[in-house]
Amino acid sequence: MAHGGAERRDKIAILLKGYPRLSETFIAQEILALEQRGIPLTLVSLRHPTDPSVHPVHREITAPVSYLPEYLHDEPSRSLRGWSHARRLPGYATARRVWLADLKRDPTRNRVRRFGQACVLAAELPPDVGWLHAHFLHTPASVARYAAMMTSLPWSCSAHAKDIWTTPDWEKREKLADLEWLVTCTATGCDHLQSLAAEPARVSLVYHGLDLTRFPPPPERAPSADDGATVRLLTVGRAVEKKGLDLLLDALAVLPATSDWRLTHIGGGALLGALKRQAEALGIAERIDWLGPQPQDAVLTHYRAADLFVLASRVARDGDRDGLPNVLMEAQSQGLACLATRAGAIEELIESERTGLLVPPDDASALSAALQRLIVEPALRDRLGAAGMAKVRNDFSMVAGIDDLAARFGDLAPAAAAE
């Protein structure tokens, strides 16, 4: 790997925890939009994909993708070659010293793996790469940080949700001191990270927004009628603790016997089996359709067919929480009324009683009452759905965020080429 000479080094290497992922459409839409702005990219993933399909946007991305050894012992020769090369780089001693200090505070196999992956990245990085950018402040940023030190390249980061709230403060402080800049997608996350940064100006709020070309206005919805038809509920999200799906099931189970509803869930996740068993125990399993992970075009069809979108987000026991879930923006873009909780940064999107309804997190009774209200008041669903759609289409297009990132990355090429 040669980084010297007159060769242009204007390509951005984007580090991802896994790629492609159905749950990370916000990242895929950003990558494609940056490509369309002429920003040269290469993608580096810490893990191979596990989802059964991809979104249409993934098929449109042309940037090459490489995969680091997911576990060093699975590719011992490659890992050893990476370390042998990296240890001869001028910045290796600094990276090793920083890593050893991190390992002392976090003595885990995961920490060892990240340093090994960074060595492989530093050894195999294309010579035209002049900048590293990590999506997520936890493990991808660790790999980017160590590799940047080894190669003497600058690096930056996009922070999102779990990575902000489950990474120790000491680690966030040190990463914020080393990177050039960080963007994050909620005001809540931005305020928190700025409070930890020695230079708060390095941290900026940049909303993901929504690619409205992929979520065009829906066919005109007929006014909802109180005609006794089954109300179609929809929730989209991985079956993990922070999504509060167990809470949603509890809330549905105590709805009045006369309440006519059917729930569709879209998403994978480790808790799916437990949730299905819970639904059986509550006696509501026959009213729930578990569809598993779905591509974006299929999800769009379900948004348009549903009567009400529900998201019961909460703060998980390990601190993990949602930021501003894209699924809420997607649902609202289709005029679908949304019921959610006041968890994470959801209040940055939804104003309760105006553009949706919000209830406290971890409150099954409040959630059930709001569900019943929306089930029996079709006019309220229509009003909230229309207001939510106007809000998203006016204020949450992804264009402004892409403009910001394209300016940051576009400014790199002339400086890098002049080296």
CA 184 vs CA 60, 149, 189, 349: distances in Å: 25, 23, 7, 15
Give me the pLDDT at residue 10, please: 86
What is d(CA 178, CA 184) in angstroms, rounded to the nearest whole number? 17
The residues near 5 (Cβ < 8 Å, ≥ 6 apart) are: none
- Report the run of H or E that residue 122 belongs to, with start and end: helix 109-124
Q: What's the pLDDT at 227?
A: 65
Same fold for the pair 11-208+398-417 and 231-395: yes
End-to-end CA gap in the chain: 17
d(CA 298, CA 338): 19
Domain range summary for the chain, segments of one domain joined by +: 11-208+398-417, 231-395
Question: pLDDT (tens digit, 9 = 90+) per residue, 105-136?
Answer: 999 999 999 999 999 999 999 999 999 999 99
- Asked if 398 contacts 211 with a C-beta cutoff of 8 angstroms, the reply is yes
Report how far apart, in Å, the C-alpha atoms of 97 and of each of 18, 93, 103, 418 are. Answer: 27, 6, 10, 31
> Cβ distance 303 to 64 under 8 Å?
no
Q: Are 306 and 285 in contact (CB under 8 A)?
A: no
**In this predicted model, what pLDDT tens digit does every residue of 71-94 receive, in sequence order?**
999 999 999 999 999 999 999 999
- Does residue 182 sit in helix, strand or coil? strand
Paired sense of beta strands 308-311 and 338-341, if any: parallel
Burial class (CB in 10 A: 0-12, 13-18, 19+), 411: exposed
Which two three-digit tokens encode residue 366? 């409040």
On whether the 231-395 domain is CATH 3.40.50.2000, my answer is yes
Q: Which of 325, 240, 248 is nearest to 279 (CA)?
A: 248
Backbone CA torsion sign across 317, 52, 216, 395:
positive
Name the stretches of the chain with pLDDT < 70: 1-8, 225-227, 412-419
pLDDT for 222 equals: 72
Task: Give the three-class secondary structure for 351.
Answer: coil
CB 185 within 8 A of CB 160: yes
CATH topology of domain 11-208+398-417: Rossmann fold (3.40.50)
- In this structure, are residues 9 and 128 in contact, taking their beta carbons and an 8 Å threshold? yes
CA 325/CA 313 separation, integer angstroms: 9
Does this model's pTM top 0.75? My answer is yes
